[in-house]
Amino acid sequence: MKLHSEHFPAPIFSRRLIAAAAFVLCSSQAFAVEPFVVKDIRVEGIQRTEAGTVFSYLPVRVGDTFTDEKGTAAIKALYATGFFKDVRVEAEGDVLVVQVEERPAIASVDFTGIKEFDKEQLTKALKEIGVGESRIFDKSQVDRAEQELKRQYLSRGLYGAKVTTTVTPVERNRVAVTFAVDEGEVSRIKQINIVGNKAFSDSDLRSQLKLTTPGWFTWYTKADQYSKQKLAGDIESLRSYYLDRGYLEMQVESTQVSITPDKKDIYITVNVKEGDKFTVSDIKLEGEMFGMEKDLATSIELKKGDVYSGSKLTESTKKIGERLGNFGYAFANINTNPIIDREKKEVAFTIMVDPGKRVYVRHVNIAGNGKTRDEVIRREFRQFEDSWYDGEKIKLSRDRVDRLGYFKEVTVETPEVPNTTDQVDVNLKVEEKPTGNIMIGAGFSQTDKLSLTGSISQANAFGSGNTIGIDVNTSSRYRTIAVSQTNPYFTDDGISRTYEVFLRTIRPSAYTTGDYRVKTVGGNVRFGVPFSELDTIFFGVGVENTKVDTDATSPNLYQAYVRDFGGSANCASNATTDLAKNGPNCGIGTASTTSFPLTAAWQRDSRDSALVPTKGRYQRANFEISAVGTLQYYRAIYQHQYFQPLFSNAVTLAMNGELDYGKGYGGKPYPIFKNFYAGGIGSVRGYEPSSLGNLKDQYGDSMGGSSRAIASLELQFPFPGSGQDRSLRWFTFFDGGNVFADGERIKVNDLRYSAGFGISWISPIGPLKLSYGKALNAKNGDGSVTNPGDKLQSFQFQLGTGF
């Protein structure tokens, strides 16, 4: 007996005695097989496929009675696996023999001529649809892969691309598949015509489209390459442009896209019907509003007499829905019913409010936090389980989690609970980032060449939400060993506690001639008390012991400090600020002072992210006073940051300003080592770090100042090819600022300015910022040591900086 897949699906069986005592079945013989009991099953013709695989698909087992129906089923089952291109079933006595011819396997998949796509990604994509190394060769799947590849080229404007597939047999019943591609030239938009417009010019309407003809930057934006998806988006932009200017019945009647025979140039024609311009005659609310009619009415941006605007109407309904969502009505339906008066060219709107059922939050689920403990995230939530849904609290909760700075991305979803109509879950998903912070700073200038600084700290230590700082700075100028610990929830009410102990040593740069040393040992403790969702006040107390050592080469200001606080016997009793009148050794030696600074501060943070903010504000004010001890002084700091998204959130405007002021009192001078400095990243880029100010020592180095004013403006753009990834951006900046000596007035004319560009990246080891700045009004010196002019430094980078 023989069953053959070529005769499938309607074989007719016959059992006949042949010379070899075999039974053969052919469709040309109209005989029915006589059933028999299968004593054994043998598989022949397999090379790669295991015999067990064949047995698993066979509907016949040893001991079963074989019939013509089971023979048909056997061929069906084996052929359906896709492993075989021919299947035969024969009987030798009471032994069932299954003969198969395997399909070839794919030995390799290769591409030639491809430049537009990455070969590895293509190989991976084809393997997912069954065309890959070691997969069974299926010509239909290969043909489908070829068509999909052509479609991808069309989506990128390569209309002349040709794809040729070659299948080459190789040893051991395998084939090599090669896709040969001739990409051709990119088809570009030659012309865009808009027909039917009367109210607006062609140039105004074309400016609303992302598609455009070739220009200066289209090599990068690829906006001159046609795609159906881009055109559909542009048509919606065109329609929105008209709707926002009163043209309620505007229609895009048709679009025509044509390509030249050489497939190089594309022509697009858009036919519009503008209709009339409408004004709003009336707008009112109806439905169930729970007595909040006046409150909801304030959310309506369109007023009677206004020119109709689709975006304002949409925004109004969105705000009404959000307002109801804050009271638990998460699925409120807000519909607008227009009544059009074409003769008067007026339209009246009735906004129907259907709040639906009040919705409650069943569970708050957190995912993605492999390191950070759940409680660290949950304590930032203001939306609680088993309470009604509040959209504003959910947004606030997301922002508070993002402002922790522990996560690269924070997203929240509110899916409905299955089989309910009044419950949702709040699913918060985070993507953790390394919270260890290694700060490395560097700059290059013609005078100092390469300079380096660094420190290290660890936020969210062990996933606890606590910050442990080990600040180790080994630069030649600033040496620091500081240990700090912050517990943001020292109490359950959210009162934070920070304590710090430190040893700081300041030495002059290795490139200066003078020498001195400022060594400060101390510690402090500070408590933060939140009194709103955005505002926190801080109180702290500390102790500091500062030792200043000078020699004959030390800057005059440090010698003056030793004279004032060191009680040097080398100075006359009637010491004046002119050290020379008191002898050459006056001011040389050691001065040790102790102070007990008290601090009070306020902070408000409404940014959407502490790591990569795109909107919101950050403000802080800090006041420090030392009334007990050797030193008596006060210093005040105020900083204000502002972030605003622009151009559909594609660009972020970032502004930063800071004013600082310090003063001694009680007849005591302001401590020189408490001075503020400016220059470099964080203040005024394009100038050497800490180099600005009119207060110089006898070697021309800046001594800083007791007051400072700095400001910065940045436009932050997504990096080419990064899509919506906010962790990698490039920016342009404009900086201004300077420091001023004690008694010197802050003057706008004395500010230094710079402009430039740079790249910021949230790297695995901390935020990285690189900048190239050009000083705009640098002051030139007279060439002397004491008046060298402003020191410039164009290229600067810092790992671990913020704004």
Q: How confident is the model at residue 113 (pLDDT cuts 50, 70, 90)?
A: confident
- State pLDDT tens for residues 185-205: 778 899 999 999 999 999 999
Q: Which of 421, 401, 422, 419 is nearest to 410 (CA)?
A: 401
Tell whether omega for the bond before 9 is within 30 degrees of 0, i.e. cis.
Answer: yes
- State pLDDT tens for residues 167-180: 998 887 888 999 99
Q: What is the mean pLDDT of residues 741-768?
A: 85
Q: Give the torsion through C-alpha atoms of 289, 290, 296, 302, to 10 deg.
A: 30
Q: Give the torsion through C-alpha atoms of 20, 26, 28, 30, to 10 deg.
A: 90
Q: Which of 759, 762, 741, 740 is nearest to 749 (CA)?
A: 740
* pTM for the full predicted model: 0.62
Q: Where are the beta strands (DSSP E) in 589-706?
A: 589-595, 598-605, 616-626, 633-646, 651-664, 686-687
Examine the domain organization and report whether 666 and 780 are in the same domain: yes
265 in helix, strand or coil? strand
Q: Are 188 and 224 in contact (CB under 8 A)?
A: yes
Examine the domain organization and report whether 260 and 317 are in the same domain: no
Pairing relation of β-strands 496-506 and 516-530?
A: antiparallel
Distance CA 569, CA 563 (A): 9
Share of the chain above pLDDT 70, in %: 87
7 pLDDT exceeds 60? no
Examine the domain organization and report whether 406 and 341 are in the same domain: no
Distance CA 628, CA 632 (A): 7
Distance from CA of residue 417 to its chain's centroid? 30
Q: How confident is the model at residue 736 (pLDDT cuts 50, 70, 90)?
A: very high
Examine the domain organization and report whether 154 and 91 are in the same domain: no
Classify the C-alpha dihedral 663-668-674-676 as positive or negative. positive
Both structure tokens of 29:
């013989």
351 in helix, strand or coil? strand
Examine the domain organization and report whether 163 and 221 are in the same domain: no
Q: What is the mean pLDDT of residues 296-303?
A: 90
Q: Where are the beta strands (DSSP E) in 446-495?
A: 449-458, 467-474, 478-487
Q: Which of 436, 437, 364, 438 is nearest to 401 (CA)?
A: 364
Domain boundary among 432, 460, 479: 432
Q: Which of 213-217, 370-374, 594-598 has the lowest mean pLDDT?
A: 213-217
Q: What is the CATH number of the domain that holds 143?
A: 3.10.20.310
Please report, for residues 84, 101, 714, the alpha-carbon distance to residue 78 in angstroms, rounded to integers and kept in the order given. Answer: 7, 11, 67
Q: Are 386 and 423 in contact (CB under 8 A)?
A: no
Domain boundary among 133, 157, 182: 182
Q: Which of 773, 340, 389, 405 is nearest to 609 (CA)?
A: 405
748 in helix, strand or coil? helix
345 in helix, strand or coil? coil
Axis crossing angle, helix 391-403 with helix 310-325, rounded to the nearest 10 = 90
Q: What is the mean pLDDT of residues 223-245?
A: 90
Share of the chain above pLDDT 90, in %: 36
User: 800: how many CB neighbours lie within 10 A of its CB?
Assistant: 20
Examine the domain organization and report whether 69 and 115 are in the same domain: no
Distance CA 574, CA 763 (A): 58
Examine the domain organization and report whether 213 and 68 are in the same domain: no
Distance CA 652, CA 719 (A): 13
Please report, for residues 269, 276, 277, 281, 346, the alpha-carbon distance to residue 342 in angstroms, rounded to integers and kept in the order given. Answer: 29, 8, 10, 12, 7
Q: What is the mean pLDDT of residues 696-700?
A: 76
Both structure tokens of 555:
């800057």
Written as one letter, the residue type at 357 is K
- State pLDDT tens for residues 509-554: 655 556 788 899 999 999 999 988 889 999 999 999 999 888 888 8
- Supply the pLDDT for residue 786: 62
DSSP state of 330: T
Examine the domain organization and report whether 565 and 693 are in the same domain: yes
> How many structural domains compose the chain?
6
Name the one residue in this structure whose structure tokens are 């007499």.
305
Q: By CB neighbour count within 10 A (0-12 exposed, 13-18 middle, 19+ buried), where does 698 fall?
A: middle
Distance CA 562, CA 638 (A): 31
Long-range contacts of 66-70 (CB under 8 A, 24+ apart): 66/33, 66/35, 66/36, 66/37, 66/38, 66/91, 66/96, 67/33, 67/35, 68/11, 68/12, 68/13, 68/32, 68/33
Q: Which of 477, 503, 514, 498 is nearest to 677 (CA)?
A: 477
CB neighbours of 477 closer than 8 A, spacing ≥ 6? 453, 506, 507, 508, 509, 510
Distance CA 794, CA 772 (A): 5
Distance CA 612, CA 467 (A): 20
Examine the domain organization and report whether 81 and 117 are in the same domain: no
Long-range contacts of 21-26 (CB under 8 A, 24+ apart): 21/92, 21/93, 22/90, 22/91, 22/92, 22/93, 23/90, 23/91, 23/92, 24/90, 25/1, 25/71, 26/2
Examine the domain organization and report whether 417 and 443 are in the same domain: no
- Domain housing 333: 279-354
Examine the domain organization and report whether 110 and 98 are in the same domain: no
Domain boundary among 405, 432, 459: 432
CB neighbours of 235 closer than 8 A, spacing ≥ 6? 252, 255, 270
Examine the domain organization and report whether 652 and 682 are in the same domain: yes
Q: What is the mean pLDDT of residues 38-54?
A: 81
Distance CA 23, CA 90 (A): 7
- State pLDDT tens for residues 702-719: 888 999 999 999 999 887
